[in-house]
């Protein structure tokens, strides 16, 4: 948009006064933030309204991305970049004696997600708008996002994330678009006008009230919408008669029970905890979202039989799986279509992404729970299952009689949500080549054989605008100086940087930028936690959720072994290295929590020991999340992507780090494999078992972890360090970690991969010594990262699955 500094200052001062009731001199940082946010939102309003009018007017096919999680982070600076007003606003604020940096710190992270899955949804929102696809998000407006993590005495302690405490400037409440969602009750069946009709009776009614947040595309005038639903009790707020009789508890407990639905995000990543409230959350937003879509579709006057031609609904993992029976319900019970018509529309509307092969993450709901919470929905699932079984029975009963049971949606007293998603959608995709291949050839093989062509791959991506353009301004400027700014819209043109591959001046500047970013991060860390780190050491970074399969344990055991070697030989020629960890553990995941304590205990030992602390430092960065990541990633030298092969579906942190010039230490897992393909084997450090080997060891039970423990003295000493008193803790402190490795035969092959990990770490350090070589490696990583932009991912989804139109701009369509 067109905006000059003077106009901005005028607008801003007026807005600040109106919002805070105070003049500039007396305003607080929060007042300043709030005024700025609301002004930026207002600047966006014309485009926002215009976009939705244009989509309606053009009767365009639209995409709705249903996701339990949207891990958005802060929005202010992102939005200013998207609108092309960043410099003007920054200048205007400086003129007024304010600092944009300070003001943007006042914004709370929108942390409505656990990790990769939720962050992916947020990247997709940005890319859909920027690429010009009519695509919107549908989810839940949790009052509390993912918990805030504090490290107290080395332990993770969780505190509620009160992100809405001071209101949210970006959202707009839409009470007129509220819909009712029904739980419980019973189904009455009637035969009217020659057809079976179903009525839900005596249900508990919850109001789903949408809050809309604008999602601006990058300087294209397109503004899509993220719609998050909040649960409210149906008016009146409370029963006044009961209240006056003094029956406060009952009156309020009903209201709280209803509102509990959108109260908190479950803090489990890649793990299903099976709570009833969770199932309520799932149905709540899916039903509300579909009713909203249906309502506006009907307003358009288009025939209901064409629903799938105008709406593509994507479900992010199985959490929104109930979209399938719910859409069937709306089409049959409300729109009066018959089963076959409704089924055709539903399956052609819905597509599904699988994000994990871990069995503990596969959602299953007990039949009796589903039946009593959602009786009509359960009936529909049963019918889908019955019809599907009929076909598989007929096909397989002779060749493989067990197969149709294996493929059933309902089995062993449970509803298997992944099966429901596969049967009820027209596309099933994995999130990286290896993952999609394992889905099709192993985990979901019978389905892949049954549905030829339904399974496909869509390798994940990240928005290079947030993760490079905004969070690494120095590097962005250096890139633009060399190859122009086309990469912002066409990230694959980052490839042109390859011509600087052997240009000493360019590479030197690249390293100077890395150094400056490392100084920035060390200042940030010092300011936020009091810890000092040395920008001349290697920053070796593992940032992601804490999970056994991600193997933070491998990293810390290797650090312990380095410590032991250094103690023995203090003159060991090591380049000083700072190991940084950032990770939240699910509050109920004890092994993961012990790993946090272990990292901190090892850090306490090493950082205080003068024999080693010139060369080694271990830091656990508190409360890892989107904003912390934006500070760390530009400073990274080494990116640790060391999951057990076959366990990490894709990973997306790996992409963010390479894009910022970090070199990856990687197993052949998830998207690491595609990073390898992109950069070539000389620009990545590979180690460890392959997925095939992991499967083989698991299947033939030939792996013996204890033997490795016995035969590798250094590793044994590192493991024993957990219990022998070297660390300042009781011998039981790390009981679960030790027992997982030794008593339970190390399910994630930490011991098996230890030696090759230690070797590759040595190689990485040698490479780092050679500054020229390292800077060239770093450059290749940046240059080849364009394919990991979520713009590419979104274009792939749209080309193969959604098939929505792509608009360069909507200007002129009104
Ligand atoms: C999952 C997977 C990650 C993946 C992400 C996004 O575990 O490997 O990158 O989704 O597809 N639960 C997750 O974060």
Task: Determine whether the shortest distance from the Cβ of 605 to ligand 1 is under 6 A.
Answer: no
| CATH for 58-74+109-454 (3.40.720.10, 2.30.30.140, 3.20.10.10, 3.40.50.2000) | 3.40.50.2000
Dist. CA 708–CA 152, nearest whole Å: 34
Active site includes 416?
Answer: no
Task: Determine whether the shortest distance from the Cβ of 115 to ligand 1 is under 6 A.
Answer: yes
Query: 232: which strand partners?
Result: 207
Task: Determine whether the shortest distance from the Cβ of 650 to ligand 1 is under 6 A.
Answer: yes
Q: Residues 19, 182, 355, 416: which is the catalytic one?
A: 355
Active site includes 656?
Answer: yes
What is the pLDDT at residue 235?
66
Whether the CB-CB separation of 85 and 1 falls below 8 Å is answered with yes
Dist. CA 196–CA 79, nearest whole Å: 51
Question: Could you tell which of 431, 546, 644 is best to mutate to test the pocket of ligand 1, judged by most ligand atoms within 8 Å of the CB?
Answer: 431
Task: Determine whether the shortest distance from the Cβ of 578 to ligand 1 is under 6 A.
Answer: no
Q: Determine the distance separating the centroid of ligand 1 and the alpha carbon of 116, expressed in angstroms.
A: 5
- Tell the burial category of 165 from Cβ atoms under 10 Å away from its Cβ (0-12, 13-18, 19+): exposed
Q: Is the dihedral of CA 344, 346, 350, 356 positive or negative?
A: negative
Of ligand 1's atoms, which has the minimum distance to the CA of residue 460? 11
Of ligand 1's atoms, which has the minimum distance to the CA of residue 120? 6
What is the pLDDT at residue 29?
97
Domain range summary for the chain, segments of one domain joined by +: 58-74+109-454, 466-789
CA 5, 170, 30: angle at the middle one, nearest 5? 70
Dist. CA 16–CA 313, nearest whole Å: 40
* Helical H segments across 69-189, by residue range: 76-83, 86-95, 100-105, 116-131
Task: Determine whether the shortest distance from the Cβ of 459 to ligand 1 is under 6 A.
Answer: no
Task: Determine whether the shortest distance from the Cβ of 652 to ligand 1 is under 6 A.
Answer: yes
Dist. CA 211–CA 177, nearest whole Å: 9
- Tell the burial category of 517 from Cβ atoms under 10 Å away from its Cβ (0-12, 13-18, 19+): buried
Q: Kindly report the CATH number that applies to the domain delimited by 466-789.
A: 3.40.50.2000
Query: 411: which strand partners?
Result: 414
Query: 429: which strand partners?
Result: 353, 456
Q: Determine the distance separating the centroid of ligand 1 and the alpha carbon of 575, expressed in angstroms.
A: 33
DSSP for 513-524, written as a single string: HHHHHHHHHHHH
Question: Strands, DSSP E only, in 678-783?
Answer: 685-686
Kindly report the protein residue whose alpha carbon is nearest to atom 10 of ligand 1: 117
Q: Tell me the longest C-alpha to C-alpha distance in the chain.
A: 90
Question: Could you tell which of 354, 356, 629 is best to mutate to test the pocket of ligand 1, judged by most ligand atoms within 8 Å of the CB?
Answer: 356
User: What does each C-alpha distance from 33 to 9, 22, 215 come to in angstroms?
Assistant: 14, 14, 19
Contacts of 463 (CB under 8 A, 6+ apart): 123, 126, 127, 130, 789, 790, 791
Q: Determine the distance separating the centroid of ligand 1 and the alpha carbon of 241, expressed in angstroms.
A: 50
Active site includes 652?
Answer: yes
What is the pLDDT at residue 809?
86
Q: Each residue of 629-685: pLDDT tens digit?
A: 999 999 999 999 999 999 999 999 999 999 999 999 999 999 999 999 999 999 999
What is the pLDDT at residue 429?
98
Q: Determine the distance separating the centroid of ligand 1 and the alpha carbon of 24, expressed in angstroms.
A: 45
Task: Determine whether the shortest distance from the Cβ of 436 to ligand 1 is under 6 A.
Answer: no
Task: Determine whether the shortest distance from the Cβ of 431 to ligand 1 is under 6 A.
Answer: yes
Q: Determine the distance separating the centroid of ligand 1 and the alpha carbon of 619, expressed in angstroms.
A: 25
CA 740 to chain CA mean position, Å: 28
CA 420 to chain CA mean position, Å: 23
Query: Which helix (H) or strand (E) element contains residue 285?
Result: helix 276-299
The predicted model scores a pTM of 0.97
608-640 in b/e form (b: 16+ CB < 10 A) is: eeeebeebbbbbbbbbbbbbbbbbbbbbbbbbb
Going by the DSSP 8-state scheme, the letter that residue 563 receives in this structure is H
What is the pLDDT at residue 237?
54
β-strand pairing of 195-201 with 364-366 = unpaired
325-338 in b/e form (b: 16+ CB < 10 A) is: bbbbbbbbbebebe
Whether the CB-CB separation of 223 and 215 falls below 8 Å is answered with yes
What is the pLDDT at residue 252?
76
Contacts of 87 (CB under 8 A, 6+ apart): none
Kindly report the protein residue whose alpha carbon is nearest to atom 9 of ligand 1: 651
Q: 205 φ, ψ to 5°?
A: -105, 130
What is the pLDDT at residue 245?
66
Task: Determine whether the shortest distance from the Cβ of 648 to ligand 1 is under 6 A.
Answer: yes
Q: Determine the distance separating the centroid of ligand 1 and the alpha carbon of 651, expressed in angstroms.
A: 6
Dist. CA 690–CA 127, nearest whole Å: 32
Task: Determine whether the shortest distance from the Cβ of 429 to ligand 1 is under 6 A.
Answer: no
Q: Residues 34, 547, 550, 617: which is the catalytic one?
A: 550
Active site includes 466?
Answer: no
Q: What tokens were used for 679?
A: 């950069």
Active site includes 664?
Answer: no
Whether the CB-CB separation of 155 and 107 falls below 8 Å is answered with no
Task: Determine whether the shortest distance from the Cβ of 672 to ligand 1 is under 6 A.
Answer: no
- Whether 58-74+109-454 shares its CATH topology with 466-789 is answered yes
Q: Determine the distance separating the centroid of ligand 1 and the alpha carbon of 502, expressed in angstroms.
A: 36
Q: Determine the distance separating the centroid of ligand 1 and the alpha carbon of 317, expressed in angstroms.
A: 10
User: What does each C-alpha distance from 674 to 406, 543, 666 come to in angstroms?
Assistant: 32, 20, 11
Task: Determine whether the shortest distance from the Cβ of 649 to ligand 1 is under 6 A.
Answer: yes
Q: Residues 464, 544, 547, 558: which is the catalytic one?
A: 544
- Which stretches in the chain have pLDDT values below 70? 235-246, 248, 251, 812-814
Question: Strands, DSSP E only, in 653-760?
Answer: 663-666, 685-686
């Amino acid at each position: 948009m067109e905006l000059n500094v003077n106009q901005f200052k005028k607008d801003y001062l007026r807005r600040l006064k109106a919002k805070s009731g105070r003049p500039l001199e007396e305003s607080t940082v929060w007042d300043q933030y709030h005024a700025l946010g609301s002004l930026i939102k207002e600047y966006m309003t014309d485009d926002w309204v215009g976009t939705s009018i244009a989509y309606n007017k053009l009767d365009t096919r639209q995409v709705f991305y249903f996701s339990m999680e949207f891990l958005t982070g802060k929005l202010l600076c992102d939005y200013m970049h998207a609108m092309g007003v960043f410099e003007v606003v920054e200048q205007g604020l400086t003129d007024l004696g304010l600092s944009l940096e300070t003001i943007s710190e006042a914004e709370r992270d929108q942390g409505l997600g656990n990790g990769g899955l939720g962050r992916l949804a947020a990247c997709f929102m940005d890319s859909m708008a920027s690429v010009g696809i009519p695509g919107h998000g549908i989810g839940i407006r949790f009052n509390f996002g993912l918990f805030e993590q504090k490290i107290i005495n080395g332990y993770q302690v969780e505190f509620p994330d009160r992100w809405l405490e001071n209101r949210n400037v970006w959202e707009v409440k839409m009470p007129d678009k509220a819909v009712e969602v029904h739980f419980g009750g019973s189904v009455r069946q009637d035969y009217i006008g020659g057809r079976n009709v179903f009525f839900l009776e005596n249900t508990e009614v919850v109001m789903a009230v949408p809050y809309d947040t604008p999602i601006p595309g990058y300087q294209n005038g397109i503004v899509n919408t993220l719609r998050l639903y909040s649960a409210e009790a149906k008016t009146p707020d409370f029963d006044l008669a009961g209240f006056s009789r003094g029956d406060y508890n009952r009156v309020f407990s009903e209201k709280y029970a209803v509102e509990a639905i959108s109260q908190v995000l479950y803090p489990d990543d890649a793990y299903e905890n099976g709570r009833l409230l969770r199932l309520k959350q799932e149905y709540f937003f899916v039903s509300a979202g579909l009713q909203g879509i249906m309502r506006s579709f009907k307003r358009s006057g288009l025939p209901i039989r064409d629903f799938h031609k105008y709406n593509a609904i994507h479900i992010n993992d199985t959490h929104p799986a109930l979209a399938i029976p719910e859409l069937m319900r709306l089409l049959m019970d409300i729109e009066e279509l018959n089963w076959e018509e409704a089924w055709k529309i539903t399956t052609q509307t819905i597509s599904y992404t699988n994000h994990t092969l871990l069995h503990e993450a596969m959602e299953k709901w007990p039949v009796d729970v589903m039946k009593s919470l959602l009786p009509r929905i359960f009936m529909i699932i049963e019918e889908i299952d019955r019809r599907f079984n009929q076909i598989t029975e007929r096909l397989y009963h002779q060749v493989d009689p067990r197969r149709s049971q294996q493929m059933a949606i309902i089995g062993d007293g449970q509803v298997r949500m992944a099966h429901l998603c596969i049967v009820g959608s027209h596309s099933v995709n994995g999130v990286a080549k290896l993952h999609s291949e394992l889905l099709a050839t192993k985990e979901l093989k019978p389905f892949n054989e049954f549905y030829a062509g339904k399974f496909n791959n869509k390798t994940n991506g990240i928005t290079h605008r947030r993760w490079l353009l905004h969070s690494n301004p120095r590097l962005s400027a250096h890139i633009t100086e060399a190859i122009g700014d086309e990469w912002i819209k066409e990230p694959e043109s980052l490839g042109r940087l390859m011509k600087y591959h052997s240009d000493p001046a360019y590479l030197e500047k690249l390293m100077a930028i890395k150094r400056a970013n490392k100084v920035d991060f060390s200042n940030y860390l010092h300011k936020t936690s009091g810890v000092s780190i040395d920008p001349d050491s290697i920053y070796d970074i593992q940032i992601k959720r804490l999970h056994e399969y991600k193997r933070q344990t491998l990293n810390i055991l290797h650090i312990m072994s380095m410590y032991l070697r250094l103690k023995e030989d203090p003159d060991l020629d090591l380049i000083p290295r700072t190991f940084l960890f950032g990770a939240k553990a699910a509050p109920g995941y004890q092994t993961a929590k012990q790993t946090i304590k272990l990292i901190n205990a090892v850090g306490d030992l090493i950082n205080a020991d003068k024999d080693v602390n010139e060369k080694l430092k271990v830091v656990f960065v508190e409360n890892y999340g989107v904003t912390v990541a934006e500070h760390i990633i530009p400073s990274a030298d080494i990116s640790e992507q060391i999951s057990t092969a076959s366990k990490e579906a894709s990973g997306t942190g790996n992409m963010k780090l390479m894009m910022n010039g970090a070199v990856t230490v990687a197993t052949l897992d998830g998207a690491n494999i595609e990073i390898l393909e992109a950069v070539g084997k000389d620009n990545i450090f590979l180690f460890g078992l392959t997925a095939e080997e992991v499967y083989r060891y698991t299947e033939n039970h030939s792996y013996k972890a204890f033997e490795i423990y016995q035969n590798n003295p250094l590793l044994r000493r590192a493991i024993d360090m957990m219990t022998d008193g070297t660390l300042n803790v009781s011998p039981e402190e790390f009981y679960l970690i030790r027992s997982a490795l030794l008593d339970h035969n190390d399910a994630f092959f930490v011991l098996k991969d230890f030696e090759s990990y230690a070797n590759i770490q040595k190689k990485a350090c040698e490479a780092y010594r050679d500054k020229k070589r390292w800077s060239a490696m770093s450059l290749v990583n940046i240059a080849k990262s364009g394919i990991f932009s979520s713009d590419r991912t979104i274009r792939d989804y749209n080309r193969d699955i959604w098939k929505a139109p792509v608009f360069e701009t909507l200007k002129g369509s009104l």
